[in-house]
Amino acid sequence: MKITPLEIKRQQFKKVMRGFDPVEVETFLEMVSNDLEDILTVNKEFKERVIELETQLADYKQMEKTLQQTLFQAQETSGKSIENSRREADLIIKEAELKAQQIVEKARSDFGRIKEEISSLKARKESVISRLKVLLSSELDLIRALEIDDDEPGSRDASKGTGKDRIEIDEILKKL
């Protein structure tokens, strides 16, 4: 049973002869009533403070939980991001290796084709040189035959017979 300060103040006692001094009892009860009222006020303030602190604690616990979840999500996202970056880097490397391999293959192919073209051009050059030599040789033979006819007495011009034309043609043939 709880006693309130008001009950203490209103408490009535029987009057007896040889009892306690009523003024002293009433003073004491007033004092107890005031102290009890102060204690109840402080107790009420403490309860309110406890409720307030429990609310703050619950808020802090919720914030802590949220922060932990956020941290976990950030770590998870970071891990996924790192993994995605690694995969992307691997893919880029593989693509670069494939392109490099294609470039090397194309260069080898071009090299082989150019080498064949060079061989073909060398063969054509040799063929042209051979044909020119044959042509020049036959023309030179013709010129020599004509010179022999011109070397007969009385048919020589003053400008012919230096032999310079013959030397130039022989040099050209040697160079070929």
d(CA 36, CA 6): 10
Residue 103 makes CB contacts below 8 A (sequence gap 6+) with none
Residue at 153 is within a domain: no
> Residue 44 belongs to what domain range?
5-141+165-175
d(CA 88, CA 99): 16
d(CA 129, CA 172): 12
Residue at 94 is within a domain: yes
pTM, to two decimals? 0.41
Residue at 154 is within a domain: no
Residue at 160 is within a domain: no
Q: What is the pLDDT along the chain (176 residues), one digit of tens a residue?
A: 577 777 777 777 777 777 777 788 888 888 888 888 899 899 999 999 999 999 999 999 999 999 999 999 999 999 999 999 999 999 999 999 999 999 999 999 999 999 999 999 999 999 998 988 898 888 888 888 888 876 665 554 544 555 555 566 667 666 66
Residue at 146 is within a domain: no
Closest by CA to 39, choosing from 12, 8, 67, is 8
How many domains, the chain?
1
Residue at 36 is within a domain: yes
Residue at 28 is within a domain: yes
